[in-house]
Amino acid sequence: MNAPDLSRAAQKAAFENNKLSKRLHRLVGQAVVDFNMIEQGDRVMVCMSGGKDSYAMLDILLSLRERAPIDFDLIAVNLDQKQPGFPEHVLPDYLKSRGVPFHIEEQDTFSIVKSIIPEGKTTCGLCSRLRRGILYRVAGELGATKIALGHHRDDILETFFLNLFFGGKLKGMPPKLVSDDGRHVVIRPLAYVEEADLERWAELRAFPLIPCTLCGSQENAQRKQVKAMLRQWERESPGRAQTMFNALTQVVPSHLADRSLFDFAGLRAAGVPDPQGDIAFDADPCVGAGELPRAQSVQWF
């Protein structure tokens, strides 16, 4: 490849990288605004696992904080679960280089999980419950008002299908919720971001990734099977994942069958047209499938 070709390739790469950066910041900013994730004076505890998602979340929140119309603090927290070979220096070194306040919580949950879960069985459920309880405690000790987790759009879709296929529920992973103990607000700023973009961002930003040797290597996990299914669907029909995610933001209780969400027993014909009635089935299902509804509020992007 000659010099002009190299120059054009470099320009194209820079253009694509800039597009990626703008898209990530726009989507995270939109999610924060849509769900009122971060408010004036918040102290946000950013949970860092050492994976691409948490690195990207912190990186983008740091950038958005510089232009946000409100003031808030960030503190990074890592739970050192004492996995054999875990490089303890990597996250502290990175966080110091970014000037981010941080706390490392050391708890040997690795041994607990290994002692309880039989060999070959998935460890994710118990591991996540132990980790969640510890992080809630640490949030209280640090005075955090919000707990930020790095789950992205594809995680949310995978959780929806896991509940649908194996739990018999229409239930996903909400962008914002109150914690199990009722004392904390948990937020997922990456809720609108697809995993492929995070993979590209992690490579571009050269994050010092730390692989999970506990659950990350379990090929028989149901979540990995669902992930493979969704990726195959996306290859066959590009855009399908986004359409499915949009469906989670536009729920019509009257067209499901949950009696606790809609009063089917009390439903009567009142002679008033209903835009969600039978006519709803006549609409083109593809119309409006590509855009997320936005909150009318101050934008961060």
Q: Print the domain residue range for 180.
A: 27-250
Residue 107 lies inside a defined structural domain of this protein:
yes
pLDDT single digits (tens) 267-296: 998 888 777 666 555 555 554 555 666 655
Q: Which helix (H) or strand (E) holds 102?
A: strand 102-106
pLDDT single digits (tens) 66-111: 999 999 999 999 988 777 778 889 999 999 999 999 999 987 766 6
CA 155 to chain centre: 6
> DSSP state, 273?
-
67: CATH = 3.40.50.620
pLDDT at residue number 287: 47
pTM score of the predicted model: 0.86
Residue 294 lies inside a defined structural domain of this protein:
no
Domain count, the chain: 1
Residues annotated in the binding site for [4Fe-4S] cluster, as ranges? 124, 127, 215
Q: 217 vs 7, 9, 154, 195, CA distance in Å?
A: 40, 36, 19, 18
**Counting beta carbons within 10 angstroms of the beta carbon of residue 250, is it exposed (0 to 12), middle (13 to 18) or buried (19 or more)?**
exposed
Pairwise CA distance, residues 137 & 227, whole Å: 31
Residues annotated in the binding site, as ranges? 124, 127, 215
> DSSP state, 118?
P
In the predicted model, what is the mean pLDDT of the chain? 86
